[in-house]
Amino acid sequence: MDNIYKKNAELILNELNEALLKVDQNEVYSLIEELNKAEKIFFIGVGRVMTMLQCIAKRLKHIGYDTYIVGETTEPPISDKDLLIVGSGSGSTLIPSGIAKKAKSFGAKIAHIGAIPNNPLKDITDVFVRIPVKSKQNLPDQVDSNQPMTSLFEQSLLLLGDTITLTILDMKDEPVNESMWSNHANLE
């Protein structure tokens, strides 16, 4: 019994390491580009995914982005200058899908962070970041998990958000296209 905790901690860390290292960095850079173009950034998901998105929104707010959680009482209207980030492993979660379609009708850009590339949101998504974890489609490059339910996706989502934040901070120290940072001058 002494080794159960350490065995499980190692299992989770190994799964997370594999999942995050399999995320396509070009997809992440495309998302960062859209973050930098957006006036306001909205987040939608359900359950534990929404909790992770709330953490990401808060972290991005800390570094100067104008972020909102869909459904909060202080949420402003979305426009064609804004970005909606949808968190849904399958891309078929009812409420986030409906909100994404509505936001697209207002001209907003849609970013989807999910596990399945060929999903119901693909036709309206401007940026897709895949966390290649176990899904119903059993894709050949997915990271299998011994954790319950969709824990690996949710954990990876949170760590992806922190990785994106750290990448943004590192990128601002590098020579970049100035227009990329025009909406976020307070990052200086």
Tokens describing residue 28: 């992440």
128 strand-pairing partners: 112
SS3 39: coil
Q: DSSP assignment, residue 13?
A: H
Measured distance CA(178)–CA(188) in Å, rounded = 12
Whether 154 is catalytic is: yes
Q: With contact defined as beta carbons under 8 Å apart, do 27 and 128 qualify?
A: yes
The catalytically annotated residue of 10, 18, 154, 174 is 154
Measured distance CA(13)–CA(103) in Å, rounded = 36
Catalytic residues: 154
